[in-house]
Amino acid sequence: MPFGLLNAPPTFQRLMDMFCRNLPAMAYLDDIIVLSPTFDQHLLDLVTVFLKLKDYKLRANRSKCHFACSRVKYLGLWITSRGIEVDPDKVSAVQKIPPPRNVKQVQSFLQTCSWYRKFMPNFSEIARPLSNLTKNKIVWTWTASEQNAFTTLKNCLVSPPILSQADFTKPFVLRTDGSSYALGAVLLQGADMEEHPIEYASRLLNSAERNYSTTEREALAVVWALNKFRGYIEGSKITVASDHQPLKWLMKLKSPSGRLARWALQLQSFDLNLEYIPGKSNVVADMLSRLDYDQEIPSCEENTVSIDFPARSPMEIREEQLKDEDLRKIIHCFENDDKDVNHANWLERGYLMNQGVLYRFSHDSESEEAQLVVPTHERDKILKEHHDSPNAAHYGSDGTYQRIAKRYFWIGMRKFITNYVKNCLDCARFKA
C-alpha cells in the first residue's frame, strides 16, 4: 500500500480486522499479537495465523517476530501474565525531561504523561496546576505548585501499579466520585482481597460543570465513567458503587428534561446494579476526584455562585439527625453491611445517603434535588426561618409548604406546617 495517502491507515486497519476475525489474535495496523492459554495451544494458534497470512498474501518480518514469550512489548506497554505494565525504557525517557519553560513544552510533557494516565489513580488532579498554564489568558508563572506537580508526575511513573486484564466472564465494579472541580472513577473486578483495578480515570470539570449541584456532579461522574469504560462493560453486569445515590434519583425523576433526560437515556443501555457504600469505603474514587493544593492560580472569570443551606458541615447535620430515634434507625440501616428488607423499603421510599447525611427524593416532585431529612427537634427552627423571619413574609400554609418542601422533608410535614401557620399570632392579627 502506498505511504502518505490520507485513507491508507484506516483501510489497512479494516483489512487487519477482517484478518483477525475468528482468530485468537489482535492487530493494531501491522502489529499482531497472538494470545494463548498454554504452550501447546500457542503452537496450534501460530499455525492457524500463518495459514491465514498465506491466504491473505501477507508476510511477516522474521527479525521483528517473537514467539512463545511469557511477556511481550505491545504498543509501548508490557503485557505479562500478571497484567499490563509500563515500559521502563519509555519511563526513563520521561524522567530525563527538564522542567518546561513555556506553554508548548508543558503541553508536550502532559501529552507524553497522558499516555500512562490509566496507571495513575489521580492524574488529572496531579496535573491540574500544569493544565491551568495551558489555558487562554493565563500568565506564565512557574511556582512551587507547578514544580511539585511536574515532579510528582515523573515520580508516579517510577513505580506505577500493575493493571490486571479484564475477565469478561465476571461482573465489573465501578466506583465513582465527584468533587467541586474533578471527577474520578476506577473500574474493578473481584471481591474483598481479590479485588484488583482494571483501569483508572479522572478529569477536571469545565466552568459550566462546576456550577452543577452536588447531586448532578455525582450523577455526571457515573454517566461519564460508564461511557469512558464502555469498551469493557458493554453487555456485562455492572455494580455501580458510590457514596452518593445519584442514579436512584436520576432514574426516578418524574419528568426529566435537558441533560437529565439525556443522562437517563444513556444509562438505559447498561445492565446496572446500584450499591451504596459509605464515603470512608470509597477511598480510591474519592482520591481521584479530590486532592488539595496549597497554591491556586487566580482566574479572572465570571462565575455563578451557588450557596447550599444550611451552612453547616455534613458531620454537624449528621449529629443532629442521629439525635432523632427514627432517623437514627434509617441511617444505621443504610450503613449496616447486612442489607435487609428494611433497607430496600427505605430505598423504595426515596431515602438516600450522601456524606453520611440522610436525604429523601420525592418521586412525585418536579424538583431535581433531594431534600434534607429534618429531625424532630429542628422543625420549629425551619418554620421560623421560612415563615416568621422578615424575609419570609408570613406566607400562607400552601406557600410556606412549597417553600420548605424544595429543601427539606419530614413525615407529616404538610400537617405540621398547616398547624404552625394557623397558630401564628402575627398572621391572626394582621391577616384577619
Query: Checking DSSP bridges between strand 72-74 and strand 31-34, what pairing results, if any?
Result: unpaired
The sign of the dihedral angle between the CA atoms of 151, 155, 157, 158 is positive
3-state secondary structure of 96: coil
Min mean pLDDT across 18-32, 50-64, 267-281, 391-405 is at 267-281
Average pLDDT over residues 241-246: 66
How far apart are alpha carbons 217 and 365 in whole angstroms? 20
CATH tag for 7-86 (out of 1.20.120.1200, 3.40.640.10, 3.40.50.2300, 3.30.70.270): 3.30.70.270
How do the domains of the chain map onto residue ranges? 7-86, 91-158, 172-290, 314-430
Q: Specify the pLDDT at position 11.
A: 87
Express each pLDDT in 265-318 by its tens digit: 888 888 888 776 655 455 445 544 554 433 343 444 444 444 444 467 888 888
The H or E element that residue 421 is part of is: helix 413-422
The answer to whether residues 226 and 174 touch, using CB atoms and an 8 Å cutoff, is yes
CATH tag for 91-158 (out of 3.30.420.40, 3.30.930.10, 3.30.70.260, 3.30.70.270): 3.30.70.270
The answer to whether residues 371 and 361 touch, using CB atoms and an 8 Å cutoff, is yes
Express each pLDDT in 175-196 by its tens digit: 887 778 888 888 888 776 667 7
How far apart are alpha carbons 364 and 256 in whole angstroms? 12
CATH code: domain 172-290 is 3.30.420.10
Rounded to two decimals, the pTM is 0.48
Q: Specify the pLDDT at position 363.
A: 58
The answer to whether residues 151 and 100 touch, using CB atoms and an 8 Å cutoff, is no
How far apart are alpha carbons 133 and 294 in whole angstroms? 16
The cell numbers describing 136, all together, are: 487562554
The cell numbers describing 154, all together, are: 515523573
Higher pLDDT among residues 411 and 122, named by residue: 411
254-275 exposure pattern, b = at least 16 Cβ within 10 A, e = fewer? eebeeebeebbeebeebebebe
Indicate if 91-158 has the same CATH topology as 7-86.
yes
User: Measuring CA to CA, how many Å separate 367 from each of 177, 252, 253, 387, 396?
Assistant: 22, 11, 8, 21, 21
Average pLDDT over residues 49-61: 89
77-79 β-sheet, strand order: 72-74, 77-79, 84-86
CATH class belonging to 314-430: mainly alpha
Higher pLDDT among residues 355 and 363, named by residue: 355
Chain centroid to Cα 368, Å, comes to: 20
Nearest alpha carbon to residue 120 among 99, 91, 82? 91
* Intra-chain end-to-end CA distance of the chain, in Å: 92
Q: What is the DSSP letter of 386?
A: I
